[in-house]
Structure 1
Amino acid sequence: MATYKKRGYKKPHQKEDHNVHDEHSTTEEVFSTLDESASKTEEWVARNQKYILGGIGIVVLVVLGFLGYQQFVLKPKEAEASNEMFFAQQYFDEAVNNTAKDSLYGLALNGAEGKYGLIDIIDNYGGTKAANLAHYSAGMAYLNTQKYDQAIKYLEDFKSDDPILGALAKGGIGDAFVQLGQEEDALGYYEKAISHSDNDFTTPKFLFKAGVLSLQDGKAEKALKYFNRIKNEYSDSEEGRTIDIYIGKAETLK
């Protein structure tokens, strides 16, 4: 006799009930694990609370200390250093445009009439912008008074991304090495001055110096590269006006 299932008849979902039970158990296990982890974390925090708070306190103190240093120490120091720098820089500027250079450079370096010189500013206001600029001016002052070792020392300590001053400082070190008879070192610094920035003032200036130095050392091929770059890229510069003469010399000696 045939059997059939009555419409609407459903077999009890024992398997589904079992799955629901398993899912419920798994969920309970997950929450239980999370509770245990949370408890362990709370215990760890409780045990190490003084260290955590101490660490936070240190961070806060460092931040507050930095802000306080900026506001109450560095800013007033910068202002004071800039004020002192004004007088020293005046002597330096006068020396650049005056025939009595040595004495004026000396006043710029060492001060006068109770005012600080460049060296005093460097010694007393280290870390300020004025002290950094004082390194440049002091280096150039020593370069112009034929104290080449001192010039190198101070110019090397000058740090600047300025396209002109940064290049002039590196080129000044190159000039000092030339006077000391250290041509390789000089050429290296001329190269640094050239690569520091690309502009119509310092770039052809130090390309020319590098070319002349190479020519004097008998490296005509190398000199030509410097001279030709001036001709091709900086023909309107002061060096570019006479560069054909030097290209001719280099080609003759090649």
Structure 2
Amino acid sequence: MATYKKRGYKPKNKEEERTLAEQGSTTAEVFSALDESASRSEQWVARNQNYILGVIGVIAVAVLGYLGYNQFVQEPRNASAANEMLYPNQYFNQALESTAEKDSLFLLALNGAEGKYGYLDIIEEYSGTPSANIATYAAGMAYKELKQYDKAIEYLEQVNPDEEITASLALGGIGDSFFQLGQAADALGYYEKAFAEDDNTLTTPLYLHKAGIAALELGQKEKALKYFQRIKDDYPDANEARNIDAFIGMAQTQ
């Protein structure tokens, strides 16, 4: 065990003098090693200064670039895309309310006119933005209304399900398109995905009902009965529940 010695302390004999000398030598060696290690570290830093600064610079540029991209590129791009959506949305909504000019209005919504973008332009020019995703959904629905079911399926399958209700409507739109193409089995699969996507009082009873009809078309009466009965039990206030007993009766017949 080391003993603390006061400053100015003189050894009492030769043996103690030798011991103190050895301790001093050891201490000096430790400090010398530390100094040598520190010196080597400083030399490494000095030799690699450019590399270190380069790495730090790359990280800083990457962070600033990301922030700058979002602020000065992506956000203005999103805003521009949202602004372009106003024109096709106007015609899409008019088409939904119209009868005589329905098809021409949907085509205007899809293709644009008078230098204004349609949904197809927005999908191409603003890929990756929320507006492009909505335009993809709207284009699919427009093609479905135009009875171009293959194109409807093509676009609706590309919709990114950012919101559950939009995902349900897209899946249901694919189901509708397959049903119109005479592919009831495919339609049933998409209707089932649609009502499973989100449990709500709007889309769930709607696609349960359509799934039940598709199941009847395929002769799957037990499955149809299950879906119709669920509407009656869980969604009695839904529009689809008004005549549900008649559909339940059809599913129960042998």
Please state which band the TM-score falls in when normalised by the shorter chain: 0.7 to 0.9
Aligned length: 233
Indicate conservation of the 8 Å contact 2:143/2:149, yes or no: yes
Q: Secondary structure at the match of 1:164?
A: helix
In the other structure, the counterpart of 1:64 is: 64
CA distance in 2, matches of 1:134, 1:108: 10
**Relative to structure 1, is the Cα distance of residues 58 and 229 closer, same or farther in structure 2, using a 3 angstrom cutoff?**
same
Amino acid in the other structure paired with 1:54: G
Indicate conservation of the 8 Å contact 2:184/2:217, yes or no: no
Q: Say whether residues 1:128 and 2:121 are aligned partners.
A: no
Question: How far did residue 46 of structure 1 move?
Answer: 4.6
Query: What TM-score comes out, normalization by structure 1 length?
Result: 0.81
Question: How far did residue 243 of structure 1 move?
Answer: 1.1
In the other structure, the counterpart of 1:222 is: 223
**Relative to structure 1, is the Cα distance of residues 85 and 45 closer, same or farther in structure 2, using a 3 angstrom cutoff?**
same
CA distance in 2, matches of 1:42, 1:195: 64
Percent pairwise identity:
58
**Relative to structure 1, is the Cα distance of residues 57 and 204 closer, same or farther in structure 2, using a 3 angstrom cutoff?**
same
CA distance in 1, matches of 2:58, 2:214: 56
In the other structure, the counterpart of 1:165 is: 166
Matches within 5 A, 1:37-56: 45-56=45-56
Q: Secondary structure at the match of 2:121?
A: helix
Indicate conservation of the 8 Å contact 2:136/2:156, yes or no: yes
**Relative to structure 1, is the Cα distance of residues 187 and 43 closer, same or farther in structure 2, using a 3 angstrom cutoff?**
farther
Amino acid in the other structure paired with 1:128: T
Question: How far did residue 43 of structure 1 move?
Answer: 5.6
In the other structure, the counterpart of 1:110 is: 111
Identify unmatched segments of 5+ residues in structure 2.
4-18
In the other structure, the counterpart of 2:87 is: 87
Identify unmatched segments of 5+ residues in structure 1.
1-15
Question: How far did residue 63 of structure 1 move?
Answer: 1.4
CA distance in 2, matches of 1:77, 1:197: 31
CA distance in 1, matches of 2:218, 2:31: 82
Indicate conservation of the 8 Å contact 2:156/2:171, yes or no: yes
